[in-house]
Copies of this chain bind each other. A is one copy, B any other.
Amino acid sequence: MRLPKLTRTQIERHLPILQWSKTYDRDTLTSDLVAAVIVTIMLIPQSLAYALLAGLPAEMGLYASILPLVAYAIFGTSRALAVGPVAVVSLMTAAAVGNLALQGTAEYAMAAITLAFISGVMLLVMGVFRLGFLANFLSHPVIAGFITASGVLIASSQLKHIIGVDAHGHTLITIWGDLFRNQDLANPYTLAIGLSSVAFLFWVRKGLKPLLLGLGLKPRMADILAKAGPVGAVAVTILVTWGFGLQDKGVKIVGDVPMGLPPLTMPSFSADLWSQLFMSAVLISIIGFVESVSVAQTLAAKKRQRIVPDQELVGLGASNIAAAVSGGYPVTGGFARSVVNFDAGAETPAAGAFTAVGILLAALLLTPLLFFLPKATLAATIIVAVLSLVDFSILQKTWTYSKVDFAAVAATIFLTLGFGVEMGVSAGVILSIGLFLYKTSRPHVAEVGLVPGTQHFRNILRHDVETHPELVTLRIDESLYFANARFLEDYIYNRIACDEPIKHVVLMCSAVNEIDMSALESLEAINHRLIDLGIKLHLTEVKGPVMDRLKRSHFLDALSGEVFLAQYDAVVKLTRPHPVAAQ
């Protein structure tokens, strides 16, 4: 028995670090370091904020931004992807874990860690078995609708921190219900910090860069300073809270954040917990993978690089397992952060590893400074970040282009807002697949005739074409398979149930990419029925792969008519002396 020999290429395929590290030099190092500094500045407040969104202690956000980034640097294929906590996955984590344990308990944190582990194992398994194609079943409009609805949900869920009241729930109605019920309890100091942070961050986004450029700064520098806006808001609100003792006036603060290395953690292996988290892990894995791979592909294309989706699964799987063993929670490649990483000049995944060092230093040194950080500030950074994801124009676009896509998007948005993220995305996927199947089960069938002066055949209802009373040519615009086999039978029986002197029915198969066993049986039934009626059945333009298969059945022996290579040949042979012009 010969064992498969692992060549260097094969090893490199599974450990992309071996490829890019070969050409790593001082220039690449400088670029990666600069990008890492910028991303670190952006990631510190984000990681704390997204942990808050997930209902977890702030430090778990930091932990999720250290080891997972190193794991991705070893196994990932994208050179610009910035892995770590992201908004949508944090929200999904809160939704999944919130059903099982109370926020703030050890069980809650353990469930989040276990969720990261299960999701990591799933991603790894999907990568090994090359199941990345599964993500293709999330249609673009469903993703767009889901991201938009999630943005609205996330922003709504953070309003409680801005106005300083309690609110729970994972749907728009429960969140806003709590907000309205508790609005009298709003804390004015919290509200002042929250609203001014939101206003400041929006201004940083829109107004700061032009201002800095106007002051004569170089574009690169202006860009970096603009990205540092959230850090500025964090610093100022910490000082204000500490200076005025606002924590005693009802302003909720982050409080004690443990200082030091990420802890070594073990996920739970309780079968009960695994089965409760299983579906959530499936959804988080797929949504995380889709978000990550889309941004990675977009950025790679800009530099004519390629990413390997199945290896990306391995990279993200390793990252999530790394998160689970180091006190983190589910992570993936973030959209905004990856774009910043790319723009800041990241050349290799090493930039991610350097970012990890930056966050590690923050965890070791800066955590005491975060004691007085108001939660309202973090909520403000989340709101400003996610509102840029909200884009309802997909509804209008799909409405114009395709009602089926519109239905899938509208359902996704409505169900995500009304029943939470898991229901929303599952329904979107199931509905878009269901509608696709429904369409293929009632295919478009065109009766065609010859475009005069050509050998080309088109729909008699749309074009001025030549036909012949003894010959009916039907072009079936769909593969023939079990779901439409009966439809085809009914269609043909109805068509020939007229008074015309039909002698030949020709099925033009240019759009038939597959004839499965059920459809074959239907064709046999049609053939027999037509023989009874003295009508011959012919096929034309049958494709190679379909013909190969028909030859393996008895259908061609029983067929009353012929199989023609081209529709034109069939018409020439079957309609002598001349085709008659259609009225």
What residues make up the interface of A, taking CB atoms closer than 8 Å to B? 133, 136-142, 301, 397-398, 400-402, 404-405, 432-433, 436-444, 446, 451, 454-456, 458-459, 462, 477-479, 481-487, 510-514, 516-518, 520-521, 529, 543-545, 549, 552-553, 565-566, 568
Contact = CB atoms under 8 A, between A and B. Distances in A.
B133 A516 contact: no
Contact of A441 (B133, B443, B444, B446): B133
B433 A437 contact: yes
B482 A138 contact: yes
Nearest to A409: B517
A518 B486 contact: no
A477 B513 contact: yes
B454 A514 contact: no
Contacts of A433: 437
A112 to B, nearest CB: 31
Contact of A139 (B459, B516, B552): B516
Given A136-B486, A444-B545, 20 more contacts: A133-B442, A137-B482, A140-B482, A140-B485, A140-B521, A141-B517, A397-B517, A398-B517, A402-B517, A405-B517, A432-B482, A436-B482, A436-B516, A444-B513, A444-B543, A446-B544, A458-B544, A459-B543, A510-B510, A511-B511
A518 B439 contact: no
A489 to B, nearest CB: 9
11 contacts: A136-B441, A140-B518, A141-B517, A400-B553, A405-B518, A436-B437, A446-B543, A455-B456, A455-B568, A477-B513, A477-B545
Contact of A517 (B140, B511, B520): B140
Interface of A is mostly: helix
Contact of A566 (B454, B520, B543): B454
Contacts of A401: 517, 520, 549, 552-553
A516 B442 CA distance: 16
Nearest to A455: B455
Contacts of A486: 136
Contacts of A400: 552-553
B137 A402 contact: no
Contacts of A511: 510-513, 543
A552 B405 CA distance: 14
Smallest CB-CB A-B distances: 10 pairs:
A139-B482, A140-B518, A405-B517, A477-B513, A455-B455, A456-B566, A511-B511, A510-B510, A139-B518, A462-B544
A477 B139 CA distance: 20
Nearest to A406: B517
Contacts of A487: 133, 136
A454 B568 contact: yes
Given A136-B485, A455-B456, A549-B402, A439 B521 contact: no
A251 to B, nearest CB: 45
Contact of A483 (B136, B141, B477, B514): B136
Nearest to A429: B482
Given A487-B136, A544-B459, A478 B437 contact: no
Contact of A402 (B405, B456, B516, B529): B516
Contact of A478 (B442, B513, B544): B513
Nearest to A440: B479
Contacts of A529: 301
Given A397-B517, A437-B433, A568-B454, A483 B137 contact: yes
A565 B456 contact: yes
Contacts of A514: 439
B404 A516 contact: yes
A10 to B, nearest CB: 21
Contacts of A520: 401
A123 to B, nearest CB: 18
Contacts of A543: 444, 446, 459, 477, 511
A345 B472 CA distance: 37
A436 B437 CA distance: 9
A436 B507 CA distance: 22
A162 B153 CA distance: 64
A425 to B, nearest CB: 14
Contacts of A454: 455, 566, 568
Contacts of A142: 482
Contacts of A441: 133, 136-137
Q: Which of A138, A141, A514, A566 has the most CB of B within 10 A?
A: A514
Q: Which of A138, A477, A549 has the most CB of B within 10 A?
A: A477
A248 B544 CA distance: 70
Contacts of A478: 479, 513
Nearest to A432: B482
Nearest to A461: B544
A286 to B, nearest CB: 14
A352 to B, nearest CB: 25
A234 B190 CA distance: 87
Contacts of A438: 133
A282 to B, nearest CB: 15
Contact of A481 (B436, B477, B544, B565): B436
A385 B545 CA distance: 41
Nearest to A481: B436
Q: Which of A437, A454, A517, A553 has the most CB of B within 10 A?
A: A517
A438 B433 CA distance: 12
Contacts of A451: 565-566
Contact of A482 (B136, B446, B521): B136
